[in-house]
């Protein structure tokens, strides 16, 4: 298999760069690509697999994972979502099934997409060296932001990981994660100044992002005429989870 060329972000401010190459796993010729660790101001790593490329970036002191869905299937997902019923949320619209305890991953028209999500999560599991059998989506829903809509600041309770899939939207909108600047986690801080550190994640149709659920985040106002549609999914480990010795437990996801 010929590994396609990988394009790395670069910075003119970086004078030296370190590249480490290795082949993970023990399956020669089995389609497993090379992990490329690129060390500079931020750390990026990309894993090139047979049909999957993972991009990992450290933001605000923790990693997020990015994957990109097949371009020829983006419109199909969008069209199926627009067929659904939507209800009014305080600042946007939400899939009506969320209000009745339904999950998008249980709908047959989205099975292929969520199967791909789980392939992505397998790679996250490997990178984090988790001891569970697998990572499974436990809840999923969709949000729709028309022009002028945004989404309030929130976290994702009852989840080990969370994720966001960008179905559609203009380039001017972002998901924003933020944490308190460690210098100001005390009683000495400036007044009337936002002391949080922010990461702005660009809306890109087809992008799937995995992130820690307890980090506060929100979406900026949609100033485009295009609908900004996203699919959110919470994730939990499944199977035997072992820390070694007698510290084991089994979790079954339903």
% of residues, the chain, pLDDT over 70: 80
**Residues 194 and 87 grouped into a single domain:** yes
Tokens coding 209: 């992002």
Q: Is residue 16 part of a domain?
A: yes
pLDDT for the residue 47: 52
The tally of domains found in the chain comes to 2
Q: Is residue 99 part of a domain?
A: yes
Q: Is residue 64 part of a domain?
A: no
Q: Give the span between the Cα atoms of 202 and 166, in whole angstroms.
A: 10
Q: Give the span between the Cα atoms of 248 and 246, in whole angstroms.
A: 6
Q: Give the span between the Cα atoms of 83 and 227, in whole angstroms.
A: 14
Q: Give the span between the Cα atoms of 181 and 127, in whole angstroms.
A: 27
**Residues 29 and 105 grouped into a single domain:** no
**Residues 154 and 89 grouped into a single domain:** yes
Q: Is residue 56 part of a domain?
A: no
CA distances 10 to 13, 20, 44, 191, Å, are 9, 16, 10, 36
**Residues 78 and 13 grouped into a single domain:** no
pLDDT for the residue 229: 98
Q: Is residue 29 part of a domain?
A: yes
**Residues 95 and 158 grouped into a single domain:** yes
pLDDT for the residue 51: 63
Three-class secondary structure of residue 103 per DSSP: coil
pLDDT at 22 over 70: no
Q: Is residue 191 part of a domain?
A: yes
- Give the β-pairing of 43-48 and 35-39: antiparallel
**Residues 148 and 40 grouped into a single domain:** no
pLDDT for the residue 191: 85
pLDDT at 244 over 50: yes
**Residues 46 and 80 grouped into a single domain:** no
Q: How does pLDDT run across 198-221, given as a tens digit for each residue?
A: 999 999 999 999 999 999 999 999
pLDDT at 146 over 90: yes
Taking alpha carbons only, the member of 26, 25, 45 closest to residue 35 is 45
**Residues 36 and 121 grouped into a single domain:** no
Indicate the range of 16-25, 144-153, 232-241 predicted with least confidence: 16-25
Burial letters for 221-238: b for 16+ Cβ neighbours within 10 Å, e otherwise?
bbebebbbbbbbbbbbbb
Decide: pTM greater than 0.75: yes
**Residues 46 and 107 grouped into a single domain:** no
Q: Is residue 62 part of a domain?
A: no
In the predicted model, what is the mean pLDDT of residues 74-103?
96
Question: Which CATH number do you get for residue 211?
Answer: 2.60.120.620
**Residues 246 and 143 grouped into a single domain:** yes
pLDDT at 50 over 70: no
Taking alpha carbons only, the member of 89, 76, 213, 66 closest to residue 142 is 89
Confidence of residue 48 (pLDDT cuts 50, 70, 90): very low
HSE-up of 214 (CA within 13 Å, CB side)?
Answer: 3
**Residues 172 and 232 grouped into a single domain:** yes
Decide which of 248 and 168 is more confident. 168
Average pLDDT value for the chain: 82
**Residues 137 and 199 grouped into a single domain:** yes
Q: Is residue 60 part of a domain?
A: no
CA distances 45 to 48, 66, 74, 218, Å, are 10, 10, 25, 26
Name the residue range of residue 110's domain.
69-251
């Amino acid at each position: 298999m010929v590994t396609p060329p990988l394009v790395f972000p670069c910075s003119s401010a970086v004078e030296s760069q370190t590249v480490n190459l290795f082949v993970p796993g023990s399956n020669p010729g089995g389609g497993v690509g090379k992990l490329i660790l690129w060390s500079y101001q931020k750390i990026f790593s990309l894993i090139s697999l047979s049909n999957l490329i993972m991009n990992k970036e450290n933001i605000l002191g923790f990693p997020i994972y990015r994957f990109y869905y097949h371009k020829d299937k983006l419109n199909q997902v969008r069209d199926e979502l627009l067929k659904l019923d939507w209800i009014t949320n305080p600042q946007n619209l939400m899939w009506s099934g969320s209000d009745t305890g339904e999950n998008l991953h249980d709908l047959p028209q989205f099975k292929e997409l969520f199967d791909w999500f789980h392939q992505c999560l397998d790679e996250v599991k490997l990178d984090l060296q988790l001891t569970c059998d697998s990572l499974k989506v436990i809840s999923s829903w969709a949000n729709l932001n028309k022009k002028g809509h945004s989404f309030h600041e929130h976290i994702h309770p009852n989840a080990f990981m969370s994720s966001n899939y960008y179905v559609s939207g203009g380039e001017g909108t972002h998901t924003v994660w933020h944490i308190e600047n460690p210098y100001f986690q005390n009683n000495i801080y400036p007044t009337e100044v936002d002391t949080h550190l922010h990461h702005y994640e660009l809306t890109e149709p087809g992008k799937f992002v995995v992130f820690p659920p307890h980090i506060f985040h929100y979406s900026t106002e949609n100033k485009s005429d295009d609908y900004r549609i996203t699919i959110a999914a919470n994730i939990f480990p499944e199977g035997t989870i072992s820390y070694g010795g007698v510290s084991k437990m089994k979790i079954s996801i339903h």
